[in-house]
Amino acid sequence: MSEEKSLNFIEEIISQDLASGKYASILTRFPPEPNGYLHIGHAKSICLNFGLAKHFGGKTNLRFDDTNPAKEEIEYVDSIKEDVKWLGFEWAKECYASDYFDQLYAYAVQLIEKGLAYVDDSTAEEIAQQKGTPTVPGTGNDFRNRSIAENLALFADMKAGKFADGEKVLRAKIDLASPNMHMRDPLLYRIKRSHHHRTGDKWCIYPMYDFAHGQSDSIENITHSICTLEFIPHRALYDWCIEQLAIYPSHQYEFARLNMTYTVMSKRKLLQLVEEGHVESWDDPRMPTISGMRRRGYTAHSIRDFCDRIGIAKRENIIDLSLLEFCVREDLNKIAQRRMVVTNPIKLVITNYDKGEEVLHSENNPEDPNGGTRELPFSNELWIEREDFMEEPTKKYFRLGPGLSVRLKSAYIVTCESFEKDAAGNITKVFASYHPDSKSGQDTSGIPVKGTLHWVSAKHAIPVLLNEYDRLFSVEDLSSTEGDFKNYINPNSLNKVEAYAEPALANDSLDARFQFLRKGYFYQDTKSTKEQLVFNRTVTLKDTWAKEQKK
RNA sequence: UGCCUGAUUGUGUAACGGUAGCACGACUGUUUUUGGUGCAGUUUGUCUUGGUUCGAAUCCAGGUCAGGCAACCA
């Protein structure tokens, strides 16, 4: 990080901790629960945790917070590892909370021995009721006064599987009148017979988040444990456990999670979109998941840049989707191969072109002098965009119309002579003459043109399929809406179009980034084949003409 | 009605008692064989009321507003 850039509040804390000698080096961790795919909000956390370590010369662990086997799957573990790697980060250690189950159990026994935990036979409802409310203190029950010996025996029996699911829980004995609800004798362990993706059926009791997370941090010697704002009330409990157990004192810090316009950022909601078929899968290119964005054509670099630009603070935020789009356009503009693709074709006949065909050349990327060129076949019958012809052009229209001239990109200047319509009044063909002395790169015609059109030679064109994506939701701020969030799904978030592409595309590499001239940035879909090329639109180009027309 | 966070332009984010800056967006102009890119410029802000101070976005007090907290979820 450059010196002129100011530090965010967490970087300030770390700087001070390092300067004061509190730590010789730092260790952070990224701790997802493997119950879904990672999304752009996780990317913010990943960039923060790994970025901090990188900046301050420390390390970062990847830790799976797998304490609830009912929701977790190996598929999610695999996807999370893939996504973190793809984003460009390397973890020091791959850890699992489940690796610490034995240790965690021992910690719980210690607490019981200190008279700080007890087995409670109450039902979930009873416990909830006895907890009181934020304004009314909770009340205890007789189980709270069980002897240490009895608690020890009972907890061992819980572990041994002598009770049914939900029959008993282990609770910390703290303060039922605490103004912080999380300190009102929180649950530490519950009985849950569920196959765990790593420990199998070894355990029938599982630690709760609050009894697993801080201790896992401590076991790994995490110096700075960074999480989101909703965990602020948990911090007192985090510290309490560490203090009572007298173990390595990791510290928790909280920042505001990412929210973005026109999308949702919760695994629960994203899971719903997948399960109810509103999108195809977790990696549907409309999803704000890392895998969806990757499939859509976002680069890891652009996502990292985005995370860098949004900053880290404690206030709630909602980031404009336009910032993400800016980041990916900026990156892609520099690296994308330019190609020409016509989506809504109309035939352009060059009436005076009698050479049959010729091969022209066009630059792969005007931003990159070393990007080279590609071959571009030209002939007397071309496809151009329907919207590039207007029967009765308006004043600011720079494209084709009767009597108007335009440059065909990397080819010639043509002048429109006439056009044909079908019975329904639709334009079917446009006729134009070309100016032989206006060839791209050696133009001596002196004809002034304002517009340049992309085109494809009709007989050389290859058919491709384009997925044109738009925002997933039609309202900017989903958090301000009422009712089911799915009511606000944009019905036009995907527009599949057949298109004609220049032949060079058939031989391009699978993972190349493209800019289809005047249309947007595209990336080959995972389902694309040689027989049927499919491209996903990552993002459109900025379109000031479309904006002008709306006025 | 308890506790905990927070409040700087449309959206983010800086300024650490001393010029309210930066980015995105929006808007101009300019360049351009992409109505893209680039370049130049314009644009709107310290929640509120008091207090401390030579000086307050910053410190203090009250208020207002927003979010979070009472899952055998994380």
Distance A292 CA to B59 C1' (A): 48
CA-to-C1' span, A288 to B38 (A):
31
Give the whole-angstrom CA distance, residue A209 versus residue A30.
15
Q: Are A533 and A524 in contact (CB under 8 A)?
A: yes
Catalytic residue among A146, A168, A267, A338: A267
CA distance A212 to A101: 9
Share of chain A above pLDDT 90, in %: 97
How long is the CA A284 to C1' B27 vector, in angstroms?
36
- Alpha-carbon gap, residue A455 to A452, rounded angstroms: 10
Kindly compute the dihedral angle of the four CA atoms of residues A119, A122, A127, A131, in this order, to the nearest 10 degrees: -70
CA–C1' nearest nucleotide, residue A325: B24
Q: How far is CA A55 from CA A28, A59, A88, A132, A222, in A?
A: 12, 10, 15, 45, 16
From the alpha carbon of A120, which nucleotide's C1' atom is closest? B72
Taking the CA of residue A322 and the C1' sugar atom of nucleotide B10, their distance in angstroms comes to: 12
Read off the pLDDT of residues A342-387 as tens digits, 9 standing for 90 and up.
999 999 999 999 999 999 999 999 999 999 999 999 999 999 999 9
Q: Give the model's pLDDT for residue A513.
A: 98
Please provide residue A258's backbone torsions phi and psi, each rounded to the nearest 5 degrees: -80, 135
pLDDT for residue A4 is more than 90: no
DSSP A316: -
Question: From residue A89, how far is each of A16, A189, A461, A523, A551 by CA, in Å?
Answer: 25, 34, 41, 23, 45
CA of A545 to C1' of B40 (A): 21
Helices (H) and strands (E) in chain A, counts: 13, 25
Exposed, middle or buried: residue A202 (CB in 10 Å: 0-12, 13-18, 19+)?
Answer: exposed
Strand partners, A118: A171
Decide: helix, strand or coil at residue A417.
strand
Q: What's the CA A175/C1' B69 distance, rounded, in angstroms?
A: 16
Q: Is A257 a catalytic residue?
A: yes
Lowest pLDDT segment from A2-6, A176-180, A262-266: A2-6
Contacts of A16 (CB under 8 A, 6+ apart): A22
Nearest nucleotide to A122, CA against C1' atoms: B72
Query: How far apart are the C-alpha atoms of A501 and A379, rounded to whole Å?
Result: 15
Give nearest nucleotide to A71 (CA–C1'): B73
Distance A366 CA to B30 C1' (A): 19
Please report how many Cα atoms fall inside a 13 Å half-sphere around the Cα of residue A47, on the Cβ side: 24
Which nucleotide has the least CA–C1' distance to A544?
B35
Q: Does residue A33 carry a catalytic annotation?
A: yes
- Give the bases of strand B that a protein CB approaches within 7 Å: 1-8, 10-16, 23-27, 33-38, 66-74
Q: What are phi and psi of A249, to 5 degrees?
A: -85, 85
In this structure, chain A runs to a length of 551
User: In angstroms, rounded to a whole number, what is the distance separating the alpha carbons of residues A306 and A202?
Assistant: 43
**H or E segment at A190?**
strand A187-191
Residues in CB range of A4: below 8 A, 6 or more apart: none
Please report the pLDDT score of residue A548 as a whole number: 87
Please tell me whether residue A117 adopts helix, strand or coil conformation: strand
Question: CA–C1' distance A315–B63 (Å)?
Answer: 21
**CA–CA dist A348, A264 (Å, integer):** 44
Residue among A33, A82, A254, A417 flagged as catalytic: A33
pLDDT digits (tens, 9 = 90+) for A493-528: 999 999 999 999 999 998 999 999 999 999 999 999
A250-295 pLDDT, tens digit per residue, is 999 999 999 999 999 999 999 999 999 999 999 999 999 999 999 9
Considering only CA atoms, name the residue closest to the C1' of nucleotide B35.
Answer: A545
Catalytic residue, candidates A54, A59, A131, A257: A257
ipTM, interface predicted TM-score of the complex:
0.97
Q: Closest nt to A121 (CA→C1')?
A: B72
Pairwise CA distance, residues A407 & A451, whole Å:
6
Where would I find the beta strands (DSSP E) of A229-344? 251-255, 337-339, 341-342
Cα–Cα distance, A116 to A146 (Å, whole number): 11
Asked if residue A81 has pLDDT above 60, the reply is: yes
Residue with CA nearest B7 C1'?
A315
